[in-house]
């Protein structure tokens, strides 16, 4: 009997230990699940906001557009390569961003400052030797005047530099296409040839104002409204009669010694 009681005690103890182990395992699993589960609001709040940027340069338009997430953010006027040193067309990326760069070219070195040919900002492209930069020749902006790089005015290059990052894509378009036409085309103005016929038609349909005598007319005869409104034959007869009477008066004055 004593052995049976001992055996039962062992069985009860084992069952208790097993239940305690299962309870602890369930609590641990629940804690892990609660740590791994993040509310949707928290997920959206911590998700990084990415911006896709594209720089489009039209060599024909001499314009640069910054496109962010498919929308045009800014358009700038630029200088492009001259015919003897044209700007390269194609797709590139920005590889370097340098503020207040030192200029090196053909053994010539120019320190940062107002005389630096690349201005105070440089964005080097994936094509060696080419970049988007400032200039110490602001009058060249809007012209084909560079050695192949894309030049920008001081305020514009500083603004663009603050908006872009290394790795952003750059597309240089040699000939105008549908994309650049949408980005850079100015509003169309009706040609003069289309405006002139409308003006002529309007003038033809407008009433002709009645003729008025000049204020400083040298004529001594005054044409009455009745004569002005009469037919050409009536006007001619009236004028002849007036001249005849005028001649008679003049003759009488001559005879009387007045004139």
Tokens of 3: 């052995």
Two structure tokens written together for 10: 């062992």
Q: Enter the DSSP assignment of 166.
A: T
Residue 101: CB atoms within 10 Å? 22
Count of C-beta atoms within a 10 Å radius of residue 142 = 14
Tokens (6 digits) for 24: 């602890």
105 is catalytic: no
Distance CA 77, CA 160 (A): 12
Q: What gap in Å lies between CA 192 and CA 236, rounded to an integer?
A: 45
Q: Around Cβ 114, how many Cβ atoms within 10 Å?
A: 8
Is 104 a known active-site residue? no
The single residue of 104, 105, 115, 149 carrying the catalytic annotation is 149
Catalytic residue among 104, 105, 115, 133: 133
Q: Are 125 and 144 in contact (CB under 8 A)?
A: no
The number of angstroms, rounded, from the C-alpha of 114 to the middle of its chain's C-alpha atoms is 28
Enzyme catalytic residues? 133, 149
């Amino acid at each position: 009997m004593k052995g049976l009681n001992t055996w039962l005690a062992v069985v009860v103890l084992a069952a208790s230990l097993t239940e305690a182990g299962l309870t602890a395992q369930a609590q641990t699993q629940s804690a892990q699940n609660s740590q791994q589960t993040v509310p949707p609001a928290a997920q959206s709040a911590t998700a990084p906001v990415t911006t896709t940027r594209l720089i489009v340069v039209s060599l024909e338009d001499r314009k640069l557009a910054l496109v962010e997430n498919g929308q045009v953010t800014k358009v700038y006027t630029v200088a492009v390569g001259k015919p003897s040193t044209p700007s390269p067309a194609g797709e590139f990326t920005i590889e370097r961003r340098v503020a207040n760069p030192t200029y090196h070219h053909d053994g010539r070195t120019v320190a940062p400052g107002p005389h630096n040919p690349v201005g105070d900002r440089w964005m080097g492209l994936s094509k060696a030797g080419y970049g988007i930069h400032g200039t110490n020749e602001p009058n060249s902006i809007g012209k084909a005047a560079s050695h192949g790089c894309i030049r920008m005015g001081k305020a514009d290059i500083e603004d663009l530099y603050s908006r872009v990052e290394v790795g952003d894509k750059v597309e240089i378009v040699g000939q105008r296409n549908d994309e650049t036409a949408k980005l850079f085309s100015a509003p169309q103005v009706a040609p003069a040839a289309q405006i002139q016929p409308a003006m002529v038609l309007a003038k033809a349909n407008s009433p002709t104002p009645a003729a008025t005598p000049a204020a400083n007319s040298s004529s001594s005869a005054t044409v009455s409204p009745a004569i002005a409104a009469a037919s050409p034959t009536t006007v001619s007869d009236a004028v002849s009669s007036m001249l005849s009477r005028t001649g008679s008066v003049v003759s009488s004055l001559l005879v009387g010694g007045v004139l």
